[in-house]
Amino acid sequence: MKKTPILLLAVASLMITMACVTFERIIFGAPEPAPVTQAAPTPEPPTPQPEATETPISLPTESASCPNGDCITACVADLGSIINRSATNTLRQKFNAASQDEEITLATYTISGDQIIDPVFEENIPQKLKKMRDNTSAHQNIWRYFAALIPNDQRTILEQFVISTDGRDEILASVYQSDESPEKWNLQVDIADSDNPQDLTFTLIHEFAHLLTLNPDQIEPNLAIFNAPDDPDVYYEESLSSDTYFTYEGCTLPGAYLNLFVEQYWIDLYNEWLEIDSIEDEDEYYVQLDEFYARYHDQFVSDYAVTSPEEDIAESFAIFILEERPTVQDTASQKVRFFYQFPELVKLRRQIALGLCSQAK
């Protein structure tokens, strides 16, 4: 999907997307997930601290099944390799606006704690999509899986859960600000692409990373942009008043994860990336972005991460959750280790692992 002209920072129609391919074995016919563990309240945006020591979590498995004390790696083994480093998911495949079908909303639910309620079903949709629209058990299972992974207190800003589709192998999920308030967000999942456990797991954690790094505790919501989402002049004017990294949602707080991440890893690259991001011609944009990734591939955990700082931190966070702590010293690995300096994120990693393990069983 082609991003809006620069300064919109990789967000189109207020949506931050993670384009992936498919997810349904767990969803269609999955066992009822274990109750979600309630986590402690998230503290105020932190300042960097020395890396926290991660205590191995206790799971109902023999300790020998946790290599190096990392039970996250052990229990995701039941799902196979969630992160396929050799996959050929290129930037063009992930965005591919030319072949992308129109996105169609099928059902919209209100989120109430761990539940989704009061569904509103779209009536004017093609006949071939009605089976997916009416498959409420699948809708519930997708939500329950997300709720099992992400602790309740970490998703209180979510207002609606939207089931949609844009065809197979396009955009799997996205999060975006509510139409009613910049402090509330929606989670959208493409049911047609939700049949692969590996892709769904990675994508849901990636999308949660956006909620974690763009929520009102991290970013001061900008009402001017919220009320004029399609006006680049408003965005430009508002961005001039920010002394920290400015996103489409507003100005990052000084201690926000995203602001610290940008200050540490994007200062030397940002102007070069900004010039590429402003390219209007889609084909040329992809050529230049591919070349940018080729020049700096050791600084990014994936080719998708180069599309914006927001996507870079989300990709890095997903790998922080799903892989062991890296030991190599390249910048991409440093970005994964970035999250270990925050004790509350190390704790969150263990909580997500418990939810994932309950589903892997």
The 3-state DSSP class for residue 8 equals coil
- Please give the pLDDT value at position 212: 98
354 — pLDDT class (breaks 50, 70, 90): confident
**Residue 253, token pair as written in the block:** 């707080």
Give the model confidence (pLDDT) of 77-96 as tens digits. 554 455 555 443 444 445 54
Q: What is the pTM of this model?
A: 0.79
d(CA 212, CA 356): 18
User: What are the structural domain ranges in the chain?
Assistant: 15-360
Report the percent of the chain where pLDDT is more than 70: 71
- Please give the pLDDT value at position 11: 32
- Please give the pLDDT value at position 3: 30
- Please give the pLDDT value at position 285: 95
Q: Is residue 272 a contact partner of residue 292, using CB atoms and an 8 Å limit? A: yes
CA angle 212, 213, 217 (to 5 degrees): 80
From 276-280, 343-347, 353-357, the region with the lowest mean pLDDT: 353-357
Q: Supply the mean pLDDT for the chain.
A: 79
Q: Is the pLDDT of residue 345 over 90?
A: yes
DSSP string over 131-181: HHHH-HHHHHHHHHHHHHHS-GGGSTTEEEEEEEE--TTSEEEEEEE-SS-
Q: Is residue 181 a contact partner of residue 227, using CB atoms and an 8 Å limit? A: no
Give the model confidence (pLDDT) of 204-213 as tens digits. 999 999 999 9
Q: Is the pLDDT of residue 65 over 90?
A: no
Q: Is residue 344 a contact partner of residue 46, using CB atoms and an 8 Å limit? A: yes
The 3-state DSSP class for residue 61 equals coil
d(CA 232, CA 211): 23
Give the model confidence (pLDDT) of 268-326 as tens digits. 999 999 999 999 999 999 999 999 999 999 999 999 999 999 999 999 999 999 888 99
d(CA 70, CA 240): 45
